[in-house]
């Protein structure tokens, strides 16, 4: 990891290294998505699910499409362990190709929401996790955030 100093402010920015924390989400969306049917197919209860037209929790707005989301909750990541944590999540999901083929119309994906307090953080996707994504036909969406001290 490198430290760069801003000569005007005297402040340092950390450069390089891994992300500090993450949320991994399995997501599916579709106008005709039936959350109960997806739950039965996967044998997993989602963290959040809704049908198109269901009322949102906070107000009079309605969902524009159906959704099924399984959230890992916040994970604290030590250097280089993000790939292992992702792999662990993926192998906890059904592995049968027919299961995932039946859900492809909902474009299932894994979203990695990653947080760091340094510039140029990295997430290494290893071959084992990449293989598990591919076996299930899951797209990968990486959503990184930089959190700087004020």
pLDDT in tens, 16-74: 566 778 889 999 999 999 999 999 999 999 999 999 999 888 777 999 999 999 998 88
**Does residue 102 belong to any structural domain of this protein?**
yes
Report the DSSP beta bridge partners of residue 23.
Answer: 113
Mean pLDDT is lowest, of 57-71, 81-95, 109-123, for 109-123
Total residue length of the chain: 150
CA dist 72 and 90 (Å) reads 11
**Does residue 14 belong to any structural domain of this protein?**
no
pTM of the model: 0.81
Q: Given its phi and psi angles, is residue 10 left (phi above 0), alpha (psi -120 to 50 degrees) or beta?
A: left
**Does residue 88 belong to any structural domain of this protein?**
yes
CA dist 40 and 88 (Å) reads 22
CA-wise closest residue to 141 among 42, 35, 36, 27: 27
Which domain covers residue 51, as residue numbers?
Answer: 23-71+79-146
Report the DSSP beta bridge partners of residue 119.
Answer: 15
User: Is the dihedral angle over the CA atoms 77, 82, 146, 2 positive or is it negative?
Assistant: positive
| Contact partners, residue 107, CB within 8 Å, separation at least 6 | 28, 29, 30, 139
Count of domains for the chain: 1
Which pLDDT score is estimated for 115? 85
**Does residue 13 belong to any structural domain of this protein?**
no
Average pLDDT, the chain: 85
Which pLDDT score is estimated for 83? 76
CA dist 7 and 147 (Å) reads 21
């Amino acid at each position: 990891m490198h430290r760069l100093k801003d000569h005007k402010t005297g402040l340092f920015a950390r450069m390089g290294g891994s992300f500090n924390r993450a949320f991994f989400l399995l997501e599916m969306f579709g106008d005709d998505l039936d959350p109960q049917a997806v739950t039965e197919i996967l044998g997993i209860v989602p963290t959040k699910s809704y049908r198109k037209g269901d009322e949102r929790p906070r107000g009079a707005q309605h969902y524009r499409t159906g959704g099924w989301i399984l959230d890992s909750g916040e994970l604290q990541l030590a250097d280089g362990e993000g790939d292992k944590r992702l792999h662990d999540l993926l192998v906890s999901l059904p592995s049968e190709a027919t299961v995932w083929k039946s859900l492809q119309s909902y474009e299932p994906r894994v979203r990695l929401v990653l947080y760091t307090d340094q510039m140029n953080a990295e997430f290494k996707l290893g071959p084992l996790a990449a293989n598990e994504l591919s076996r299930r036909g899951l797209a990968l969406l990486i959503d990184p955030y930089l959190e700087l001290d004020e």
